[in-house]
Amino acid sequence: MPRALVTGSAGFIGFHLARRLLADGWQVVGLDAMSDYYDVKLKEDRHAILMDSAGFTEVIGRLEDEGLVAGILAEDPFDAVFHLAAQAGVRYSIEAPETYVNSNLIGTFRVLEAVRNHPVPHLLMASTSSAYGANTEMPYVETQRADHQMSFYAATKKANEAMAHSYAHLFDMPVTLFRFFTVYGPWGRPDMAPGKFARAIMRGEPIDVYNFGKMKRDFTYVTDLVEALVRLVPVAPVRVAVDEIATGDSLSPVAPFRVVNIGNAEPVALMDFIATLEAALGREARKNFMEMQPGDVPATWADTSLLQNLTGYCPETHLADGIKAFADWFRDYYGDNPK
């Protein structure tokens, strides 16, 4: 059986990825700190589902703990490492930046050092659409410069990209960075818009609508994202001459390193998203219109041509279908009067 290490396996995306890998016959070691940034019970419930599989091994610990990741990789050969664990949240990075230094910078350093000393065929790492920062030319393309991050969270993720590139160059480590675009779906994080809005709507409380609703997001359904990740596993980047890099490919000219967008390639207006969620829940939201929040951007939109060229796949779930699946799970998990 192929073996994978998934960091952040009790997180939203890590859980869905680990479950898919297990269904495909992989053995999965899932590492998670079970941090209390949001509801720990939700994370424990995700892991409980994974632990129903004989192929899953749970490891509880923090990325930044010296020797932890290296010890896991030293035990047996791995076919892939998926580094998804991170301190997430744009707004929280303004309040608690040191948390992002520890998890996103030191933690990622531990992963890179572990893979350097215990090589794997492919290291796949999560970045974010927030790395594009102040760019206004859309859709976002991986070959665009991304130098003006708008939040400390985004800055740490862009730093992760730079760190990984240096390791890829120095130690010939095949690394793919994927920039996620507003992932949603069942088992989603309660601090993100779908969960926050659904909870408030079901409780009859107002929702905060930033920038007076004049925002757009490229909403990506979580199983579409996981499909893209699975298809990227065999497409490990290789070091090639500059004149061998295809037009539109973000492959580095000096390292086996690539950045890939994973999005739905279709920006949706925030007010349309809210209306879709209202329809799925069967209730109307009370809206509290507010100014733009610090560190936020008015729009995101992914060009997914590179993903399609590499894997033959492009995310395809329609928002109404994805939101219905999320709303059905939300009511089943939390009930009609969530705490």
What is the per-residue pLDDT across 237-255, written as a single tens digit (0 to 9) for each?
999 999 999 999 999 999 9
Of the listed ranges 67-71, 85-89, 114-118, 200-204, the one predicted with least confidence: 85-89
pTM for this prediction: 0.96
Residue 240: the pLDDT is: 94
Mean pLDDT of the 198-222 span: 95
The closest of 73, 76, 164 to 118, measured between CA atoms, is 73
Rounded CA-CA distance 16/19 in Å is 5
Residue 241: the pLDDT is: 93
Residue 247: the pLDDT is: 94
Residue 299: the pLDDT is: 87
Residue 124: the pLDDT is: 98
Mean pLDDT of the 15-36 span: 97
The structural domains of the chain, with segments of one domain joined by +, span 3-334
Rounded CA-CA distance 327/253 in Å is 44
Mean pLDDT of the 1-18 span: 98
Indicate the pLDDT class of residue 298, thresholds 50, 70 and 90: confident
Residue 337: the pLDDT is: 84
Mean pLDDT of the 291-308 span: 90
Residue 296: the pLDDT is: 81
Q: Does residue 293 carry a pLDDT above 90?
A: no
Mean pLDDT of the 264-286 span: 95
Mean pLDDT of the 124-148 span: 94
Rounded CA-CA distance 55/130 in Å is 34
Answer for the pair 209, 274: CB distance below 8 angstroms, yes or no.
yes
Q: Does residue 17 carry a pLDDT above 90?
A: yes
Answer for the pair 69, 85: CB distance below 8 angstroms, yes or no.
no
Question: CA dist 339 to 89, 186, 190, 196, 209, Å?
Answer: 21, 18, 11, 11, 21
Q: Does residue 198 carry a pLDDT above 90?
A: yes
Q: Does residue 138 carry a pLDDT above 80?
A: yes
Question: CA dist 89 to 92, 94, 97, 126, 307, Å?
Answer: 5, 9, 11, 14, 25
Rounded CA-CA distance 8/14 in Å is 5
Rounded CA-CA distance 170/82 in Å is 20
Q: Return the ∠ at Cα 179 (arms to 311 and 223), rounded to 5°.
A: 60
Burial 284-299 (b: 16+ CB within 10 A, else e): ebebeeeeeeebebeb
Question: In this predicted model, which residue has the larger pLDDT, 332 or 298?
Answer: 332
Mean pLDDT of the 256-273 span: 96
**Quick one: which H or E segment has residue 154?**
helix 152-171
Q: Does residue 59 carry a pLDDT above 80?
A: yes
Residue 184: both structure tokens together:
């949603």
Coil, strand or helix: which one is 302? Answer: strand
The closest of 280, 53, 52, 93 to 185, measured between CA atoms, is 280
Instruction: Please give the CATH topology (third level) of the domain spanning 3-334.
Output: Rossmann fold (3.40.50)
Indicate the pLDDT class of residue 295, thresholds 50, 70 and 90: confident
Q: How far is CA 176 from the centre of its chain?
A: 13
Coil, strand or helix: which one is 287? Answer: strand
Q: Which of 153, 167, 184, 221 is catalytic?
A: 153
Mean pLDDT of the 153-172 span: 97
Residue 246: both structure tokens together:
């295809």
Residue 297: the pLDDT is: 83
Residue 196: the pLDDT is: 95
> Is 100 annotated as catalytic?
no
Burial of 221 (0-12, 13-18, 19+ CB in 10 A): buried
Indicate the pLDDT class of residue 62, thresholds 50, 70 and 90: very high
Residue 90: the pLDDT is: 83
Answer for the pair 120, 80: CB distance below 8 angstroms, yes or no.
yes
